[in-house]
Amino acid sequence: YRLITDGSRMHMDWTRLNTYGLMHARGIYENWRKTDPSKRVVNLTRSSYISGQRYGVVCWSGDISAKWSVLRNQITEGIKFCLSGMPFWTLDIGGFFTVKDKWENRGCGCSGNPQKLWFWDGDYNDGVDDPGYKELYVRWLQYAAFLPMFRSHGTDTPREPWHFGSPGDIFYDTILRFIRLRYRLLPYIYSVAADVYFSNATMLRSLMFDFAADKNVRGISDSFMFGKAFLVSPVTEPMYYDAGGAELRGIEKTKKVYLPKGAAWYDFWTNSVHAGGQEIVCDVPLDRMPLFVRAGSIVPVSDPIQYADERKGEVSGILVYAGGDGEFTLYNDDGDNYSYENGNYSAIPMAYRENSRELTLGAARGSYPYQESFDITLIEDGQAAKTVSVSYNGGEMTFRL
């Protein structure tokens, strides 16, 4: 901080330092919209301030190092950042710097510099050649699949999935599993992102947002809500390999997770239900992290896709988790311009009522074409999922599940 403020005194009043990034983002946004009003602004930056989201800002946490301690801290920092009112936050999956003191393995053109650099402080000199780094990277990617922006970036070592193994290898398979899960959840994620614009919501949510009456959530910094449906609790400790590749033995592959009061919770992987207001022990093999869905949630999903707009926002199914009432607004638009500001979008309000086991699709809002058919699946504890195929005419319709 001192390095930055001392340097800034030469150019500006240091007390206004925090607003510099905001004004910079404003300049980019306003001039971009004048130059090319048909394209949305996305400004990935590590410098912003309160209200930066109005200028298309997505903040990332900077050039962080590959350490388990950094992963733990990033979860807390992301929650706090979004608590401040800034909804879009992300990070470098696996850390930007992986090398510690093996300077010849440095990236960014620094492999010929033997000087110790304080900020170059990863724990994995050999990057993807170290099973310890592969484990850290996989756990980091599992967490990041539930951030507003999902991105892998860094220096020193490659990060493409094929560098972590081949089909049948646990690291490779798990990386692909969570990338595919991210794509599967895109209709949910895009709808939650729309809620930021239309309702001043946030995507990465402290447990205190949705469970303020539960005093037990106030000290929890390693779990959060992604939208109002998913409770995410990343694994933040090594269980298989130490830095350097030494195999760890005798470590239980479990994590304790607190489930807030006021709702029942579905284990996403098994669909088993747990009561809220208790701490449970979750099995966390490398291909799984604790992930729960609040009962009553409505989650639109996509079929497998290879890139974000392959299906143009089309939903392949709607998952309804029984056990409570729930509401959700399914949103879609062109995806690349600002016509939604003038009503060119499709928003379908949905409401599930547990007592009647009915899902109501409200009247579609906006001028963008709405989807006319859905496969709706009711998920219940210990029972086979029930799927109902329905046709939707744009008006209010109620379906018994």
Residue at 264 is within a domain:
yes
Q: Which domain holds residue 335?
A: 298-400
Q: 207 and 93, same structural domain?
A: yes
Residues 290 and 308 in one domain: no
Q: Does any domain span residue 34?
A: no
Residue 354 domain flag: yes
Count the residues in the chain: 401
Dmax (CA) for the chain in angstroms is 69
Is the domain of 332 the same as that of 380?
Answer: yes
CATH of the domain at 318: 2.60.40.1180
| 366 falls within a domain | yes
- Verify that 122 and 254 share a domain, yes or no: yes
- Are 305 and 263 in the same domain? no
Mean pLDDT by 10 residues, the chain (401 residues): 63 76 94 94 92 94 97 97 93 97 94 91 97 99 98 97 98 98 98 96 96 96 98 98 96 98 97 97 98 98 92 94 98 96 98 97 98 96 86 97 93
Which among 259, 294, 329 is the end of a domain?
A: 294
Distance CA 133, CA 43 (A): 30
Are 175 and 284 members of one domain? yes
Residue 26 in domain? no
Asked if 321 and 253 sit in the same domain, the reply is no
Cα–Cα distance measured from residue 290 to residue 38, given in angstroms and rounded to the nearest whole number: 40
Are 140 and 229 in the same domain?
Answer: yes
Question: Are 330 and 261 part of one and the same domain?
Answer: no
Q: 179 with 114, same domain?
A: yes
Whether residue 184 sits in one domain with residue 110: yes
Q: Is residue 6 part of a domain?
A: no
Q: What is the pTM of this model?
A: 0.95
| Long-range CB contacts (within 8 A, 24+) of 70-75 | 70/95, 71/95, 71/136, 71/139, 71/140, 71/143, 71/234, 71/236, 72/222, 72/236, 75/143, 75/221, 75/222, 75/224, 75/234, 75/236
* Final residue in a domain of this structure, among 256, 272, 294: 294
Q: Which residue in the block uniquely carries the two structure tokens 């016509």?
A: 339
Cα–Cα distance measured from residue 394 to residue 385, given in angstroms and rounded to the nearest whole number: 26
Domain boundary (241, 260, 294) is at 294
- Looking at the fold, whether 269 and 388 belong to one and the same domain comes out as no
Q: How many domains does the chain contain in total?
A: 2
- What's the pLDDT score for residue 7? 67
Q: Is residue 225 part of a domain?
A: yes
Q: In which residue are the tokens 């206004």 written?
A: 16
Domain presence at residue 323: yes
- Helix H, strand E, coil C: the string for 126-188 is CHHHCHHHHHHHHHHHHHHCCCCCCCCCCCCCCCCHHHHCCCCCHHHHHHHHHHHHHHHCHHH
